[in-house]
Structure 1
Amino acid sequence: MPKIYPADLVVDQRETQIDVSRDQSRWISDQSRPHFITGTAVDVELPFTGNKLGFDIQPTTSNFNNPRAHVGDGIISFSITGTDLTPDRVKQEIDRAVNSINEHLGWLANDAKSYNASLESLAMQAIERRKEKLLKDKSLVAGLGFKMKERPGASPTFAAPSVRRNIRPTTAKPLASREPYKPEPILAGEDYEHILSVMENMVGVMEQSPGAFREIDEESLRTHFLVQLNGHFAGNATGETFNYEGKSDILIKVDGKNIFIGECKFWTGEKGYLETLDQVLSYLSWRDTKAAVLVFNRNKDFSGVLAKIDEASRSHPNFKKLVRKRSESSWTYLFGHKDDANREITITVQGYNVPERIKPRV
């Protein structure tokens, strides 16, 4: 930001020719052309520091008295001319010009302060846009997708097909880092959506046959989903794409690491739901892992549970953004790894109402 030094300005005097054709106090026979007489010019040089480009910027606040001068290297030059100059008049003109320059510099300083305050946000937006583009480009070139071939004429029902999809993991480049480059597999978006649809259809079967699932627990739920998912997809060697570890996990593994994670949980409250998110995030292995969390509700206030699911998801410390609200009871979120910003996990949360257990008679 330029800064002027009025106390150090210097002046010089010289004769100059002044056009008085527009001077109403003089009688000029032909005012259509200039009429010059000899007058006096006082040349002023006002020193300044800072980048002179600042004088080329028009502040958002201005008036009709913009200062006019020549800006050189460290010097602002302007002249005061007249045919009857006096010391008082020259001093007034100099003071007026200096005050006008200072006023405009003050407005410019206010604009710069506001702009600088917004730079961090603007920079972060630009970085995020650049990051998204780079990730998209890398996926386009290097990530052909974790493609799983659907059997011809696959039906939306849950009968185990005789010919199942084949999975062919491919790789995507990670973000730049100091570590040696190692390709990592990704799960294609269309296959992720198909997995979600299989799980949604399975819930539809539960809703159509409530009696058969009234007494079901989380472990049994996992088994039902594993059967249906493996009926649609086939592994490269073992024939089993989906497997489990622990009590209720549904997993796809590549090179011993998870590329898809599924969780079936009954709603026990916000604390239990956040613990489920922590559990899913603890399985994050690749830089592009996808997951599904199916929340089953046996309470009566299903609308209240849905509101708490969305609110709790956004409150999680690793929450990044809502990618998409799929329906009134389903959301796709993006979460990050607490120790590595390059590692992200897409989690689709689906809420479902299921029949309440029948209480045994005493």
Structure 2
Amino acid sequence: MGGVTEVLFRQYDLHQILRATSAKVEGLVAQWGADAFLKASEHDLIDKLVEEGSVRCPQLLRDQAWMPEMAEVDIEVHDRFFGETATRRGLLFTLVVPFTGEKDVFYCRPSTWTSVVPQVQSLNTRELRLEVTGQFTDPTQLNKRFTEELDRIDQYLAWCREEIDRHNAALPTFVTGLVSARKQKLLDGRNLQSQIGFPIRRRPDASAYSIPVTRKTVSPHRLPRPGHGDGEPFAPEPALSDADYEAALQVLDAQRNALERTPSVAAGMDEETIRNLLLVSLNAQFKGTAAGELFNGDGKTDILIRERDRNVFIGECKVWDGPQTVTDALDQLLGYLVWRDTKAALLMFIRTKAVTATVQAATAAIEAHPNYKRRGTHDTDGRIDVVMHANGDLDREIKLAFLPFSLPHHATSRFAKAKR
């Protein structure tokens, strides 16, 4: 090569650099302000920290390589026989190769290496330059010089990529553990579990309804209250536990199956009647500490758990009438004064034959909503989970389960048949 100014893959030890990167992430978690940490969406927090700790190994874009015009330069030539050095005019050829990834990796030595390291004329954040000088008449010979050096660089990058990929793959688990540990430490430190509660327990006299719900004592999570800035202190607020949320959805799912299997009965029910039937099923399994019925109706469509004037669980019942039905239902749900990590369910009563197409259209409408953040844990024909954010606050997340009900439209009820 000619005019070499930079030697690659020698300056730093890649293993130590990756360890330092992990330590930096650990430091970020430890130094994050407590109130801001508790108020932040845990999912978004983990994503941000994983992104911060990830390393992007460079990849040469050899198919985009290009050459500027060749130039003439003075070349010093040493005559071994006479021991003299002479200056002659020669040709300078430059190859510019773009790359993706982080420039700093080019200066890191991987665990596997050789005594021959690649060299380049220059390197910036987007491309590297190779130069060859001499007297050339054969283009194949010149191409070989460039190719050999690129192959050497690619080999070192492959060795680096093996270590970087292992580092990146371990990050999500590593970061999740850090975030969970610090969050638990902060919550324990403020003694939330013993200070604030939203106690719920199963009815001891629950009817023997054939659904897979285990009767148990149910306790609440103590979760953070959203603030309007990092300077606002964190304050606790109750929320329905994930276990109780899942149990409630199982009750709704079982009742849906019963309705779908008895179309003649479902055909004679309007939206409010179905809502009331669902309330009966839910309250047969759950009981609040202050009242006999934990799940309450508000207006014609809502299924609510309310604690101290706030909605902790919201179930919205709607009859499908096009994608706007979904948008309106979500706007209504988000219009409530919700608390952090509120659980919600959108029960869509579908009285059309094209159930699959309707569910797809409804899902698309949910994902098109401006408050949509991401998909949740369930994605089946009978239940699609998503995460929404509260109006004006990305960190206040609402877990929403979309439950489609396939109900008959023109079926005759058994009551109508009896009159004939």
Taking the aligned partners of 2:86 and 2:58, their CA distance within structure 1 comes to 33
Rate the CA distance shift 1:105–1:248 in 2: closer, same or farther, 3 A.
farther
Rate the CA distance shift 1:99–1:228 in 2: closer, same or farther, 3 A.
closer
Taking the aligned partners of 2:257 and 2:96, their CA distance within structure 1 comes to 74
Rate the CA distance shift 1:54–1:296 in 2: closer, same or farther, 3 A.
same
Q: Which residue of 2 aligns with 1:209?
A: 262
Is the contact made by 2:79 and 2:85 (CA closer than 8 Å) also made in structure 1?
A: no
Rate the CA distance shift 1:206–1:238 in 2: closer, same or farther, 3 A.
same
Counterpart mapping for 1:164-203 below 5 A: 168-174=219-225, 177-203=230-256
Counterpart mapping for 1:1-362 below 5 A: 56=11, 84-88=83-87, 104-106=120-122, 108-111=124-127, 134=179, 138=183, 142=187, 148-151=200-203, 157=209, 168-174=219-225, 177-283=230-336, 285-357=338-410
Is the contact made by 1:334 and 1:346 (CA closer than 8 Å) also made in structure 2?
A: yes
Choose 146-155 or 254-263, whichever is displaced more: 146-155
What are the superposed Cα offsets for residues 45-94 of structure 1, whole Å, 9 maximum, x if unpaired? Answer: x9x9xx9999949986599xxxxxxxxxxxxxxx99876333415x86xx
- Amino acid of the structure 2 residue aligned with 1:261: I
Taking the aligned partners of 2:61 and 2:10, their CA distance within structure 1 comes to 13
Taking the aligned partners of 1:179 and 1:215, their CA distance within structure 2 comes to 52
Is the contact made by 2:351 and 2:406 (CA closer than 8 Å) also made in structure 1?
A: yes
Q: How far did 1:292 drift?
A: 0.8
Taking the aligned partners of 1:140 and 1:231, their CA distance within structure 2 comes to 37
Q: What TM-score does the superposition give when structure 1 sets the normalisation length?
A: 0.62
**Percent identical residues:** 30
Is the contact made by 2:302 and 2:317 (CA closer than 8 Å) also made in structure 1?
A: yes
Q: What TM-score does the superposition give when structure 2 sets the normalisation length?
A: 0.54
Q: CA RMSD in A?
A: 4.4
- Amino acid of the structure 1 residue aligned with 2:267: R
Q: How far did 1:132 drift?
A: 9.5
The structure with the largest helix share of the pair is: 2
Taking the aligned partners of 2:411 and 2:260, their CA distance within structure 1 comes to 16
Taking the aligned partners of 2:365 and 2:177, their CA distance within structure 1 comes to 26
- Amino acid of the structure 2 residue aligned with 1:353: S
What are the superposed Cα offsets for residues 249-289 of structure 1, whole Å, 9 maximum, x if unpaired? Answer: 11111221111110111111101111111111222521101
Rate the CA distance shift 1:354–1:62 in 2: closer, same or farther, 3 A.
closer
Q: Which residue of 1 aligns with 2:38?
A: none
Uncovered stretches (5+) of structure 2, i.e. residues with no partner: 13-56, 63-75, 98-118, 129-170
